[in-house]
Amino acid sequence: MTTHTSNRYSVDPQTAHLFYINGGWSAPVSPASLPVISPATEEVVAQVASGSAEDVDRAVAAARAAFADWSATSTAARARVLGKIHELILERKEAFAQAISLEMGAAIGSARAMQVPLAAEHVRVARDLLSTYRFQTIENGTAIQREPIGVCGLITPWNWPLYQITAKVAAALAAGCTVVLKPSELSPLSALLFAQVVHDAGLPPGVFNLVNGSGHGVGAAMAAHPDIDMISITGSNRAGALVAQAAAPTAKRVGQELGGKSPNILLPDADFAKAVPLGVMAAFRNVGQSCSAPTRMIVPKARLAEVEALAAATANAIIVGDPQSPETVLGPIANEAQFNRVQAMIEAGLHEGAKLLCGGLGRVPGFEKGFYTRPTVFSEVDNAMRIAQEEIFGPVLCIIAYETIDEAVAIANDTIYGLGAHVQSQDLDLARAVASRIRAGQVLLNYPAWNPMAPFGGYKRSGNGREYGVFGLEEYLETKAIVGFGAPDLDR
């Protein structure tokens, strides 16, 4: 159904009008489609099938029928399939990179260097965990068994389309679950390529199913479905709340990775010449469209002028442009609604009196078409301002000054969110002490390398549950105690 010889977008147009259900490509019950719009040109580049509750029923039935056999497979058998999926993603990495660049505007260099290889890492980690994770332990004659929860409905976002798919799907498959995936209707092309990878890897029919469509048409039906045992959603707070409400009557497990407004505390002894530019680039990675982006830079008041100069110089040097250009660092915002949101928040920052260091309203000069946004840095931001409290999801950085470390921590925690955070200091003991006081699911010290084993998830309104590594695997497992089991069986 797909071709893999071209360096460009390679989903077969016929496949785009189909779903992947029960091991094959299947037409919607009621034919309907949704446009895929390139954020670089604002042109329709594809049409994908749009599903309904009836399509969800078919996918769930297939997943339910496949669950008994898949959950009973050996860990070695599951690892072999995951290994093949990993291999095929890497073989087809250029097709994936081109699809992601087309559908959500990622700079092709970023798609090749981050979006695809980091997505593949989630599959590798899930495969490797199966050789070490103990699904049964025995203490004092009681067996604790970790068993697959069942059929899982997975709802993924548009900002890291393949990365979020593999984070959920690979962990669920490793656990022995069967899945129904609803990718974002705004970036569905890479998901179709992934479905073909799963098919070509030899996953048994019904273990993986994909239904494209809108949140209200497909996502809501999945959340409420009585035969889905778990929903995992990455998305906005509004979407997460709606899914939780729809899931409540069936008491299914709901995992949520939602919004963020992550702080980046630069302690007084930090290397500012290094920490500020890296902080700007971390905030603007993926055009600022990351829920854990450190978009609040919290700095000593005495160093504010220095920070402003460094931040503005870094932002002004960023090349924004055609995502296909190898020189481009940031492509366009991924869709029109998000572009309008970012513009509205920049306007709010100006209205509230924040000091504009660079960027501002409007498209990048020279681009009349496409959702190209100017990298924007505000200083003299009060943490009560909208731009400091609301998730913007674009290349907008707020610089907030503090007098004492206690005040810096208080500012960091003064948010409804608690997903990620950063701390910069040349004194690692001090950085660790500050990190322990921040109410967030993941704290990064001195811009460390990405760790696919580190659990990722939020406090407060950033959601619940964890993804990645062992904790991500365990999200898809139930815990059973068998009391009176007897002596341990260490060969399991």
The CA distance from 27 to 8, in Å, is 25
Please choose, from the candidates 386, 185, 364, the residue with its C-alpha nearest in 3D space to the C-alpha of residue 287.
364
Q: Are residues 203 and 174 in contact, defined by beta-carbon separation less than 8 angstroms? A: no
Is 257 noted as a catalytic residue in this protein? yes
The CA distance from 263 to 414, in Å, is 10
pTM given for the model: 0.95
pLDDT given for residue 10 in this prediction: 67
Tokens in use for 401? 């000054």
Residue with tokens 């097709």: 95
pLDDT tens track for 57-106: 999 999 999 999 999 999 999 999 999 999 999 999 999 999 999 999 99
Does residue 8 surpass a pLDDT of 90?
no
Residue 253 pairs in a beta bridge with 230
pLDDT tens track for 321-355: 999 999 999 999 999 999 999 999 999 999 999 99
Q: At what angle do helices 93-104 and 189-200 cross, to 10 degrees?
A: 160
Tokens in use for 373? 């946004």
What is the full DSSP assignment across 347-388?
HHHHHTTPEEEE--SSBPTT-SSS--B--EEEES--TTSHHH
pLDDT given for residue 11 in this prediction: 74
Q: Are residues 172 and 152 in contact, defined by beta-carbon separation less than 8 angstroms? A: yes
Among 94, 257, 308, 467, the one annotated catalytic: 257
Q: Are residues 210 and 183 in contact, defined by beta-carbon separation less than 8 angstroms? A: yes
Pairing state between β 442-445 and 420-424 = parallel
Q: Where are the alpha helices (DSSP H) in 105-256?
A: 108-110, 116-129, 161-175, 189-200, 220-224, 237-247
The CA distance from 267 to 344, in Å, is 31
Among 291, 358, 398, 475, the one annotated catalytic: 291
Is 291 noted as a catalytic residue in this protein? yes
Long-range CB contact pairs, 355-359, < 8 A, 24+: 355/379, 355/380, 355/381, 357/308, 357/311, 357/312, 357/315, 357/399, 358/312, 358/315, 358/316, 359/315, 359/395, 359/396
When pLDDT is cut at 50, 70 and 90, the band that residue 35 belongs to is very high
pLDDT tens track for 101-151: 999 999 999 999 999 999 999 999 999 999 999 999 999 999 999 999 999
The CA distance from 48 to 51, in Å, is 10
Q: Which element (helix H / strand E) includes 470?
A: helix 469-474
Q: Which element (helix H / strand E) includes 208?
A: strand 208-210
The CA distance from 465 to 159, in Å, is 20
Return the exposure string of 127-156: e unless at least 16 CB atoms fall within 10 Å of the residue's CB, then b.
bbbbeebebbebeeeebebbbbbbbbbbbb
Work out the percent of the chain whose per-residue pLDDT is above 70.
97
Pairing state between β 33-37 and 44-49 = antiparallel
Q: Are residues 225 and 56 in contact, defined by beta-carbon separation less than 8 angstroms? A: yes
In CATH, what number does 13-258+464-481 get? 3.40.605.10
Tokens in use for 256? 């949520």
pLDDT tens track for 381-410: 999 999 999 999 999 999 999 999 999 999
Does residue 3 surpass a pLDDT of 60?
no
CATH class of 263-451: alpha beta
pLDDT given for residue 242 in this prediction: 95
Does residue 276 surpass a pLDDT of 80?
yes
Mean of the per-residue pLDDT values for the chain? 96
The CA distance from 240 to 419, in Å, is 14
Reduced to 3 states, what is the DSSP secondary structure of residue 409?
helix
Plot region of 176 (φ>0 → left; ψ -120 to 50 → alpha; else → beta): left
List Cβ neighbours of 382 (8 Å cut-off, separation of 6 or more). Answer: 352, 354, 388, 400
Return the exposure string of 243-271: e unless at least 16 CB atoms fall within 10 Å of the residue's CB, then b.
bbebbeeeebbbbbbbbbbbbbbbbbebe
Pairing state between β 253-257 and 230-234 = parallel
Geometric angle at alpha carbon 361, from 360 and 367, rounded to 5°: 105
For the chain, which residues make up each domain, given as ranges? 13-258+464-481, 263-451
